Each structure stands twice: as C-alpha cells, then as structure tokens.
Homo-oligomer: A and B are copies of this chain.
Amino acid sequence: MRENTTRPPVLPVAPTGGRLRPLGLDEVRITGGFWARRRHTNATATLGHCRDWMERVGWTGNFRAAAEGRIHRDRRGREFADSEIYKLLEAMAWEAGSGGAATTLDAESAMLTEAVASAQEPDGYLNTAFGRPGQQPRYSDLEWGHELYCHGHLIQAGVAQARARGEGELTKIARRAADHICATFGRGGIEGVCGHPGIETALVELARLTGEQRYLDQAALFVDRRGHQALADIEFGRAYYQDDVPVRDATVLRGHAVRALYLAAGAVDVAVETGDDALLAAVVRQWEAAVARRTYLTGGMGSHHRDESFGDDFVLPPDRAYSETCAAVASVMLSWRLLLATGEPRFADLAERTLFNVVATSPSADGRAFFYANTLHRRTRGAVPAADADSPRAESSLRAPWFAVSCCPTNVARTLAQLPAYLATVDDHGVQLHQYADAEIATSLAGGQGVALRVRTDYPSGGTVAVRVVRSPDRPWTLSLRVPEWAAGATASLVGPDGTRSAVPPGTAEVTRVFRPGDEVRLELPVTPRWVVADPRVDAVRGTVAVQRGPLVYCAESVDLPDGREVDAVRVDPSAEPEDGPGDAGGTVVVAGEIGATPERSDDAAWPYEPLDRPTARAADRTGIVLVPYHSWANRGPSTMRVWLPTAEPRTTEP
C-alpha cells in the first residue's frame, strides 16, 4: 500500500476541483471477488492477447514502417489503429501502477514505446496514416481521419505512465505531441475539431499532470468550437459527431454514442478546471435525459447499428441493441467525472450498472475474446468465430478474438486496469465508498491524518459489505456508503460499530464518529432476485419483464433450457417471485413459466399477421426456468439469449 512516498497518487483522473478527491491505484487495492478475478484475467491474459494480436496484424509494425519510410506502402489496419497501441500502453501503465514493484509489463511497455517514439516527427506530430510522402496531408480529413483522437490516446498513455512510474519516454512523447497540437489548433491556428472526440479529456489530464495552462486552454477551445458546424455535414448528419449543437446548449446525448460520451467527459473536465458551472450543468442535463430515455437496462447506450448512435428517445430494441462496449467504457468515464464533481450517488449507480452488465460482459471468461456490441436478445445461435482470424463485423454473436475495428478489447483492458480507483474517494468530512469489492484502502484525510479500511464482501453475490477500520485519526470523521438505486422497494440496513441497525434508503448512508481500529460498519443490501419492468414508452419490451439481482441483470440462455429449446419459446409468470437457483448464491436464478416448443418453419402461418379474433393455441406445462447473469452468457458455446422475457400470456388483447 501507499506509504512513505512523496510521489503523487496513481490517479486516472485527478481534478483540482470538485466535491470529492479520488484515490490512487496505490491507495486502493481490490483483494478478492468478482472484480479481482476479472482484473487477474485482464493482467495475465488480455494484455498479452492484445499485444500479440497487434503485432500479428501489423498495427505495431506501422510505427516501424513509418520510421523506415515505407509506411505509404506497408501500413496495416484502419486510420485509427495507432490508438490501440496507446490504449494498451495506458492499460499496462495502470496495471503496473497498481502492482507497485517493477514487472515485465514495464519492459514490454518500454519496447512498444520505443517503436512509437521512432515514428514521431520533429514537430511532435505522430500518426502513421497521414502526412508522409504518398499519404494524405495532415489534418486533411478532420471528419474521419481520427488524427486528434489518436493523439488524445497517446497523451492519456503518457499521463498514465507518469502517474504510475514517473515521467518517462512515453510522457515526453505525449508532451511533444500536445505541444504540436496547441501550436497547430490553438488560437490563430486551424479552427477545427476532430470528428471523434477524445483529445479533450487527454489534454486536461496532461494539464493536471504538468500544471501547464495551455493544455487546458486547448481542451476548452475544442469543447467550445464543437457544435458550430466545425465539421462537414455527412450522411449521418452533424449530430453524429456532436457538431449540430454547442455542448453548452445541447439537452441530450446524441449521435455516435462513444463520441458523445467522450466529449461529455472532456466537457466535465474543462468545467471543473475552469469553474464553469454552466457547462457542468449542461452535461448533467444531457446525462439525465440520456439515462431516462436512451439507456438499456444493462446501462448500455446506443441502439443504432447503422451509425453506432443513440436512437430517438425510448427506441431501445433488445434484439437490435448496439450497446457498444466502448460506449460503456465512455459512460463509466463520464459518470466517474460527474461523481467527483458533484458527489451525487446517482452517477456511481449508473457506473455500477454499466460495469457489471456491459464492461464485464464484453470479455470472455478467458479474457481472449470480446463482444463489440452487447445485444439484449440473441435470436439465432451464432457460429463460433475462427480463433485465429479477426472479425470484420461488430455484430453481436459469439465473442471474437479481435476485430477489424478493435477499439473494445484495449478499452476494456485499460478500464479493468484502473478499476480500483473507482471504489472510493475522500473529502473534508471523511471517506466515501462508491463501488463494493473485497478491498484494502489506505489514504489520508484532509489534514494528512492516515486512515485505513478493510472491506470484506462477496458482493454482488452477497449483499453484505463489512467495512473494518484498520487505522483512524483520533477525531470524528464520516464514513459514507452508497445505497444503490436498485435497492429501491426493498430494505437496506446499516449496522454501526455499536451494533445499532437502521434502515437506509437508496442514496448515501453515513456513520460519523471517532472511529477506533477494529470498528466495523456493515451495509446489508437486499440482493434477492426481483422482477423489473420498463416504462411503457419503451415499446420494444411491452408485455415483457426482466430479472435483476443486486446490480446484475439476468437473462435466459438456451443452453439452460431442456430438449435444445430456444429462448423465444419461454414465457414467464411474474406473479411468482424469482428465486435463487441451484449452485452458488448469486449464480443462477429460477423463475416460474412455460417453455413451449420452438416452432419450425413448417409450423408457420403463411402470413404472420391475423385477425384479432382468430384463436391462438399455445399450451405448455408450468416449470422452473433457470436464468444466468447476463455478463456470463455465451461462454458455453453457441446459444440464443434474451433479457426481457414475455409474460405467460402471449398477447395483450383485452384492455
């Protein structure tokens, strides 16, 4: 843990203002349970998997080809391939930073950094797709070129290295790149923005690292320029890259989901550093509208495959959910920034839902295959993708080892690597716990007095979170625990060190006292499975119900049905409560319902629409139907799956 050091904490996001102060990867350690297992797989399998794939498909080689003057001939991958190397470098840095002692990751990172360094041009510009003889000129295609986007990920990687290991070569490369961008796009320079946001958060973080105002100014300039038709109109419309309305005037997140969320995160960073409350309020308003009308039960965002965009309000078809993994990563980035700025638990609520049901869903159990899109309803059994070929398609089927557009694997990797930093914060009053995992926390309160906590829980399988005080100053302070929104309608309890038990509603539960080492505060959350229904305006799920247990969304998967039946034959009876199923608590859930035979093509009517009064014969015995956590589906071979389950009555025909 973090002790006797003068180096600043290893922080993914380090605002100088806002309500809460985040803790570094050297202050919080996840020691067991759901996320520890995933972080172990990420460190031991996913990072190497990404490194090897990018070497193999030639994306790493692009940097060497650029240095050797043959890139115009030999370049591999899409225009944004460089950014995947940077995201992997960022993930390696956070992973190393949460470990402490030097690891082989540092050596691998150094080798990749050397390749990257070789391709940087004297003025700091670094992109293997533009600007060299035989290539398109620099910044000649701001709409689609992704040059600033790639520079943004480079800078994020440089910041991560500095925070985790102190300033090194990668940080110097990032500074040179940032200086080039300020010189090129600053006042008096190109009046443009990038078709894909991302540079904004990066520049603010570099300003936080270095204290250099000009990086913050440039980020603010990019945020302010957008929405004034800075980019060309395109088939998808300017809303696709949020260039339709200025950030501070927009009322909802729209267009390409990842772009919208990265931009919003950058706007929050700018707002916090510049004290721009109006800008912060605008982003909060957009977040509220998107969460209330444009978000799937899983926390996933984006319902259009065509342009990877948010749909209109309440257009949330489960079987056409795009819910891109990268949009979930971006949503967690945004919610975390809003939590730090405002201290409001609703932002941690969405982050939790998104982490457990989208971010945790993307990687396979072995960490070597990924979902790009995360559908909520799979109607056909997908074919197993070739283990040695990348997938040209981002469609939801089985996880694929790699994609032609492979933004998601490295994005999951860097998110899991920095995850411990999302668990807790401190403020003048004490310590706040936002996400629950078996963990050790050691930091200092305002005034520098040390505090250490030991969190014991098997959340989300179990609902009990026990927080034991290991070290505490000899003065009163407040321990705050988030009571998740999903606990609404059930009773959560807080048990204080003195054994007093009190019911706590969703929001924040607090204990203020002079804590002694050994004191324990226990939060008991009602993680019994329960039915969930959607707002009637979500037309696509009318007449269906879903099951949630704690923060986990459940689904029916065909591999758990008898006789090779498919999920579309399932009808459930919501008048009976769902119950924990066989196996470990928090594993399966069982609901009452029917499993009809899946009709064959030969059973079809010639035309699937008929007069209302025509009788429809369908009968099946009542039985128990096993559901599994959504994040765990598609790890047992090709299957069909659905989250929203039709109720036993096939149709609503009577008012």
Contact of A317 among B320, B545, B605, B613 (CB under 8 A): B320
Q: With a CB–CB cut-off of 8 A, which chain B residues contact A234?
A: 392
Is A76's beta carbon under 8 Å from chain B? Answer: no
Interfacial residues of chain A within 597-613, with CB under 8 A of chain B in the complex: 599, 601, 604-613
Contact of A535 among B404, B605, B653 (CB under 8 A): B605
Contact of A655 among B377, B536, B599, B649 (CB under 8 A): B649
What is the minimal beta-carbon distance from A294 to any residue of chain B, in angstroms?
Answer: 9
With A237-B393, A306-B305, A317-B540: A608-B651 Cβ-Cβ less than 8 Å: no
**Cβ contact within 8 Å between B655 and A575:** yes
Contact of A610 among B533, B568, B575, B613 (CB under 8 A): B533
Is A530's beta carbon under 8 Å from chain B? Answer: yes
Is A522's beta carbon under 8 Å from chain B? Answer: no
Contact of A540 among B485, B540, B614 (CB under 8 A): B540
A497 to B533, CA, bound (A): 60
With A292-B601, A655-B649: A380-B237 Cβ-Cβ less than 8 Å: no
Interfacial residues of chain A within 505-557, with CB under 8 A of chain B in the complex: 530-540, 542-546
Is A97's beta carbon under 8 Å from chain B? Answer: no
Interfacial residues of chain A within 569-625, with CB under 8 A of chain B in the complex: 571, 573-575, 599, 601, 604-614, 616, 618
Is A489's beta carbon under 8 Å from chain B? Answer: yes
Is A312's beta carbon under 8 Å from chain B? Answer: yes
Main secondary structure of the interface of A (DSSP, over half): loop
Q: With a CB–CB cut-off of 8 A, which chain B residues contact A601?
A: 251, 289, 292-293
Is A652's beta carbon under 8 Å from chain B? Answer: yes
A304 to B251, CA, bound (A): 28
**Cβ contact within 8 Å between A543 and B652:** yes
Contact of A649 among B380, B485, B604, B652 (CB under 8 A): B652
**Cβ contact within 8 Å between A540 and B539:** yes
What is the minimal beta-carbon distance from A574 to any residue of chain B, in angstroms?
Answer: 5
Q: With a CB–CB cut-off of 8 A, which chain B residues contact A571?
A: 655
**Cβ contact within 8 Å between A607 and B485:** yes
A654 to B533, CA, bound (A): 12
What is the minimal beta-carbon distance from A468 to any residue of chain B, in angstroms?
Answer: 32
**Cβ contact within 8 Å between B652 and A652:** yes
**Cβ contact within 8 Å between B611 and A651:** no
Is A203's beta carbon under 8 Å from chain B? Answer: no
0/1 per residue, A473-496, Cβ < 8 Å to B?
000000000000100110000000
What is the minimal beta-carbon distance from A438 to any residue of chain B, in angstroms?
Answer: 28
Contact of A306 among B291, B293, B306, B311 (CB under 8 A): B306
Is A648's beta carbon under 8 Å from chain B? Answer: yes
Q: With a CB–CB cut-off of 8 A, which chain B residues contact A315?
A: 319-320, 379
Q: With a CB–CB cut-off of 8 A, which chain B residues contact A612?
A: 530-533, 545, 574
Number of interface residues, chain A, beta carbon within 8 A:
81
Copies of this subunit: 2
With A288-B606, A614-B489: A536-B650 Cβ-Cβ less than 8 Å: yes
**Cβ contact within 8 Å between B489 and A531:** no
**Cβ contact within 8 Å between B536 and A235:** no
**Cβ contact within 8 Å between B392 and A611:** no
A559 to B402, CA, bound (A): 49
Contact of A312 among B251, B379, B608, B647 (CB under 8 A): B379
0/1 per residue, A343-382, Cβ < 8 Å to B?
0001000000000000000000000000000000101100
Is A130's beta carbon under 8 Å from chain B? Answer: no
Q: With a CB–CB cut-off of 8 A, which chain B residues contact A540?
A: 317, 319, 539-540
What is the minimal beta-carbon distance from A602 to any residue of chain B, in angstroms?
Answer: 10
Is A463's beta carbon under 8 Å from chain B? Answer: no
0/1 per residue, A174-204, Cβ < 8 Å to B?
0000000000000000000000000000000
30 A–B pairs (Cβ distance < 8 Å), ordered by A: A237-B393, A291-B607, A292-B604, A292-B608, A295-B607, A297-B609, A311-B320, A312-B319, A312-B379, A313-B379, A317-B320, A317-B540, A318-B539, A320-B320, A485-B607, A533-B609, A533-B651, A535-B605, A535-B608, A542-B543, A542-B646, A543-B651, A543-B652, A544-B652, A546-B609, A574-B654, A574-B655, A575-B654, A647-B654, A649-B654
9 tightest CB-CB pairs across the interface, nearest first? A648-B655, A531-B612, A543-B543, A535-B608, A542-B543, A543-B652, A306-B306, A305-B306, A292-B604
- Interface of A toward B, CB cutoff 8 Å: 233-237, 251, 288-289, 291-293, 295, 297, 304-306, 311-315, 317-320, 346, 377, 379-380, 392-393, 404, 485, 488-489, 530-540, 542-546, 568, 571, 573-575, 599, 601, 604-614, 616, 618, 646-655
